[in-house]
Amino acid sequence: MADPSIQAAVVEVLRNQLGLDVVDPQALIVEELGAESSDIVNIIASVEERFAIEIAESELPDIRNVADLVAVVEHYSSAA
């Protein structure tokens, strides 16, 4: 079960970056939300700043949907 506060913050970052009103937590970030590579950099940098974490580049291929991003943020936040 995802931490609701982390999920809400990640969804907010995605909404702001991609200019969307609603973001489904199961949505695929590139395929369904239409994020381009420059959006991905901004999204990752924004969540890193917000949660004071550093996500390894090697994690990025596994972040396919919003829930994946939430899980990665949770993992890094708990390790911090």
Kindly list the residues in this chain that would bind other proteins in the complex (CB under 8 A): 28, 30-31, 34, 36-42, 44-45, 48, 54, 56-58, 60-61
Q: How far is the CB of 35 from other proteins (least distance, A)?
A: 9
**DSSP single-letter state for residue 54:** -
Nearer to other proteins by Cβ, of 2 and 60: the residue is 60
Q: How far is the CB of 30 from other proteins (least distance, A)?
A: 4
DSSP letter string over 2-19?
Answer: --HHHHHHHHHHHHHHHT
CA distance 71 to 80: 14
